[in-house]
A = this chain, B = another copy of it.
Amino acid sequence: MTTAPALSAKAKPKANGAQQKLWAFASLIVLLLFFSVASPNFMQTSNILAILQATSVNGVLAIAATLVIITGGIDLSVGTLMTFTAVIAGVVLTYAGLPFAVGVVAAVAAGAGCGLISGTLVAKMKVPPFIATLGMMLILKGLSLVISGTKPIYFNDTPGFDQISTGSFVGAIIPAVPLPNGVLILFLLALAIGYVLNRTVLGRYCFALGSNEEAVRLSGVNADGWKMAIYALAGGICGIAGLIIASRLNSAQPALGLGYELDAIAAVVIGGTSLAGGRGSVLGTIIGALIMSVLLNGLRIMSVAQEWQTVVTGSIIIIAVYADMMRRRRLS
């Protein structure tokens, strides 16, 4: 309780977070530069748009996974939940012939509902997140097949449905930038969830739960309720991913989705979010998802043999995260 200032320099903790993202960003830039030099076909507008388009689904799923991972959980069901919501949209729009808006709402609501179930299992029934969402992953995979009758549901009777993902709202205003709507949705969602995480009570509890759930509970906070809300939000986001992929394929493909959870989680972790919970950012996740898409696209453009693509992707993922670790260790 004395006066002497032990603080020789003013710490800038914000800078730390920003810097972290900057570094993941640096990996991304390095990749972009490398591929630009390696292949003249890489840096074309159409290819950049293709990369962004390829990021949209994984990016949205990764945002959902980010929320859950920050609370210290994990969500293995994002992929099949996406498929399930796409099938729900198909049932509502194509089988029941209801209006467009109903389908969109149904998909997102179905996602949020399933997320709420996972959240209840985790928060109230204390099933470990890995198991709760593994179970949900299987259940939703099965239900998607059951509901759809094990065949794709096409959206041919819903004019404009394919515009959700492939149309270009931006392109209609600025013809030079025909950004697909799917990518626009990804960016807007990232902004929104970034805002929620950093500026709202829900976001703050997200970090707090991941950091020390018991302390949150003993602070008189309805920890279970918030956790369920977060899982439900993540589920709703998977619903958006379901709409994007259904629109892109103009169909709900009931068998799709398995394996997508690993891609999403990988994007989250490459983006600097810790699987232990308590720290992470949406911006990092988006950069992580972009790193993965750029890598795959670049290797394809360079006509690297497919088996080697896998080897290189695996190596780069490790190297990118290792570089990030190194930098952080040097800082502290």
Residues of B within 8 A of A275 (CB): 128, 130
- In the bound assembly, the distance between CA atoms of A307 and B279 in angstroms comes to 37
Q: Contact partner of A310 among B125, B128, B139, CB < 8 A?
A: B139
Given contacts A136-B314, A314-B136, A329-B126, contact A308 B131 (CB under 8 A): no
Interface flag for A18 (CB, 8 Å): no
Residues of B within 8 A of A270 (CB): 131
Q: Contact partner of A139 among B140, B306, B314, B329, CB < 8 A?
A: B314
- In the bound assembly, the distance between CA atoms of A268 and B97 in angstroms comes to 45
Residues of B within 8 A of A150 (CB): 307
- In the bound assembly, the distance between CA atoms of A306 and B254 in angstroms comes to 13
Number of A positions contacting B (CB below 8 A): 47
Q: Is the CB of B135 within 8 A of A315?
A: yes
Minimal beta-carbon separation of A24 from chain B (angstroms): 13
Given contacts A121-B318, A259-B259, A329-B126, contact A131 B266 (CB under 8 A): yes
Minimal beta-carbon separation of A265 from chain B (angstroms): 7
Interface flag for A142 (CB, 8 Å): yes
Q: Is the CB of B134 within 8 A of A262?
A: yes
Interface flag for A105 (CB, 8 Å): no
- Please, which residue of chain B has its CB at the minimum distance from the CB of A132? B318
Interface flag for A76 (CB, 8 Å): yes
Give A contacts to B, CB under 8 Å: 76, 121, 125-128, 130-132, 134-143, 145-146, 150, 258-259, 262, 265-266, 269-270, 274-275, 306-315, 317-318, 321-322, 325, 329
Interface pairs (29), CB distance under 8 Å = A76-B262, A125-B325, A126-B325, A126-B329, A127-B325, A128-B274, A130-B269, A131-B266, A131-B269, A131-B270, A131-B321, A134-B266, A134-B269, A135-B315, A137-B314, A138-B317, A139-B310, A139-B311, A140-B314, A141-B310, A141-B314, A142-B309, A142-B311, A142-B312, A143-B307, A145-B306, A145-B307, A146-B307, A258-B259
